[in-house]
């Protein structure tokens, strides 16, 4: 028995080493009568302060990578969660398109010359670009597939962490896409069935893992570790096992419970793995009703923002809901947003 336990621990540690234990989980729930919800956890090995931002239509942006930056004006308004107020890792726009960025250690991006001919955009803006420009996943996939610009990455300021992420998109129709850069090439996985995603491995391998576990009855056995592959299996089983309903209260509770099940306990540590991530915050986005639910690990309750109460018109001002000191908000929080200067996206 001791030999078996020792072998199992060895396998677990090996898997954690490969995935670098930087974790996130994302699921999409589809119920009757157009009920579509996307839930995700933001897991990171250090505190990753988040604020919520209201970005209106008509914002002029550039890719923040020098003279070769792409430029655009936001077509749609959005509600975005920031990381350190230098990037948008998560958000939903007024058309119900949701963008989530998750870590992917194996990402490799194309070469980029700051003053070259190829246009570029900072990775900090990847999700925001989608929210600004597209109403559906299909629109986004069609445009990204043209590869008229490249994603440009760099180290997170003040850290030794080189930013390597992939992007998931979901919309009000239940469509899904996963965008990754593998060996310097953009790979797009586009299918409504792609409702579960974790950080590692690359999505092609995640699908293979899911296929294998389809033969194992989840009601009898599920893998329980914090590594990405195990979280993928649990998320896939539970998001399909919870009741399918158009009762929003029940559906949101179900999706949030799945994300909590796949979260890493706050403060969890494993000796020899200093980069092990814990869940910092969780989000559930209601595509149909345009409601954004937010839960931080260090605050005592979940609050939500009804986007129908927000002004996304071109004349509107940027607004911010300050969460930097773990402020507590109860219930619907749209009235607590304050006018603010927009944050500057991190670039080169």
Judge whether residue 259 has pLDDT over 70.
Answer: yes
Residue 138 CB partners (closer than 8 Å, separation 6+): 175, 190
Torsion angle, CA of 43/47/53/59, rounded to 10 degrees? -90
The verdict on residue 201 lying in a domain is yes
Interval 300-308 mean pLDDT: 95
Q: What is the pLDDT of residue 213?
A: 85
Q: Is residue 344 part of a domain?
A: no
Q: Is residue 1 over pLDDT 50? A: no
Q: What is the pLDDT of residue 114?
A: 84
What is the rounded average pLDDT for all residues in the chain?
90
CA 253 and chain centroid, separation: 19
Strand-pairing partners, residue 53, are 80, 320
Within a domain: 131: yes
Q: Is the peptide bond before 347 cis (omega within 30 degrees of 0)?
A: no
Number of domains comprising the chain:
1
User: Residue 9: inside a domain, yes or no?
Assistant: no
pLDDT-derived band of residue 100, with 50, 70 and 90 as boundaries?
Answer: very high
Residue 345, in any domain of the structure: no
Structure tokens at 340: 């603010």
User: In terms of pLDDT, which residue wins out, 301 or 102?
Assistant: 102
Average pLDDT of the residues in 197-224? 85
Q: Which two tokens stand for residue 61?
A: 């942006």
Dihedral sign, Cα of residue 105, residue 111, residue 191, residue 124: positive
What is the dihedral sign for C-alpha 64, 67, 68, 72? positive
Q: Return the pLDDT at 304.
A: 98
**Residue 333: which of 313, 306, 308 has the closest Cα?**
306
**Nearest to 324, CA basis, from 275, 278, 280, 279:** 280
- Report yes or no on 255 lying in a domain: yes
| pLDDT at residue 2 is higher than 50 | no
Alpha-carbon distances of 29 from 117, 133, 218, 257, rounded to whole Å: 42, 24, 18, 12
**Contact between residue 307 and residue 287 where contact means Cβ atoms under 8 Å apart:** no
Distances from the Cα of 7 to the Cαs of 225, 268, 279, in angstroms? 15, 22, 27
C-alpha distances out from residue 96 to 35, 74, 85, Å: 12, 15, 23
- Average confidence (pLDDT) over 220-233: 85
Quickly tell me which residue has 């677990």 as its tokens: 12
Summarize the confidence of residues 123-135 as an average pLDDT: 98
Q: Active-site residues: which are they?
A: 24
Instruction: Say which range, 50-64, 113-127, 139-153, has the weakest mean pLDDT.
Output: 113-127
Is the per-residue pLDDT at 15 higher than 60? no
- For the stretch 43-55, pLDDT in tens is 988 888 899 999 9
List, for residues 164-190, the tens digit of each pLDDT value: 999 999 999 999 999 999 999 999 999
**Residue 14 located in a structural domain:** no
- Write out pLDDT tens, residues 64-75: 999 999 999 999
Domain span including residue 284: 19-339
316, pLDDT greater than 80: yes
Please report, rounded to a whole number, the percentage of residues in the chain having pLDDT higher than 70. 92
Read off the CATH number of the domain in which 314 is found. Answer: 3.60.60.10
């Amino acid at each position: 028995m001791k030999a078996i336990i020792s072998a199992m621990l060895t396998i677990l540690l090996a898997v954690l080493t490969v995935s670098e234990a930087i974790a996130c989980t994302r699921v999409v729930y589809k119920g009757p009568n157009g009920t579509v919800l996307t839930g995700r956890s933001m897991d990171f090995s250090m505190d990753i302060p988040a604020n919520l931002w209201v970005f209106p239509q008509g914002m002029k942006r550039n890719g923040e990578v020098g003279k070769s930056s792409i430029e655009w004006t936001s077509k749609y308004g959005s509600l975005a969660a920031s990381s350190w107020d230098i990037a948008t890792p998560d958000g939903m726009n007024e058309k119900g398109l949701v963008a989530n960025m998750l870590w992917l250690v194996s990402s490799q991006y194309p070469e980029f010359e700051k003053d070259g001919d190829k246009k570029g955009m900072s990775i900090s803006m990847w999700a925001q670009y989608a929210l600004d420009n597209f109403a559906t996943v299909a629109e986004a996939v069609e445009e990204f597939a043209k590869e008229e610009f490249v994603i440009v990455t760099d180290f997170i300021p003040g850290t030794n962490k080189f930013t390597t992420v992939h992007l998931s998109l979901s919309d009000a129709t239940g469509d899904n896409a996963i965008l990754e850069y593998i060996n310097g090439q953009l790979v797009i996985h586009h299918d409504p069935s792609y409702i579960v995603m974790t950080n590692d491995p690359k999505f092609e391998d995640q699908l293979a893992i899911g296929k294998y576990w389809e033969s194992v009855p989840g009601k009898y056995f599920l893998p329980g570790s914090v590594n990405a592959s195990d979280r993928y299996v649990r998320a896939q089983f539970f998001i399909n096992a919870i009741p399918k309903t158009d009762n929003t209260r029940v559906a949101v509770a179900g999706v949030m419970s799945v994300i909590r099940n796949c979260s890493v306990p706050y403060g969890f540590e494993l000796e020899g793995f200093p980069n092990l991530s814990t869940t910092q915050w969780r989000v559930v986005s209601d595509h149909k009703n345009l409601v954004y639910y937010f839960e931080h690990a260090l605050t005592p309750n979940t609050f939500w923002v009804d986007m129908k109460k927000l002004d996304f018109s071109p004349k509107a001002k940027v607004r911010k809901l300050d969460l930097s000191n773990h402020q507590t908000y109860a219930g619907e929080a749209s009235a607590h947003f304050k006018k603010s200067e927009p944050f500057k996206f991190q670039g080169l």
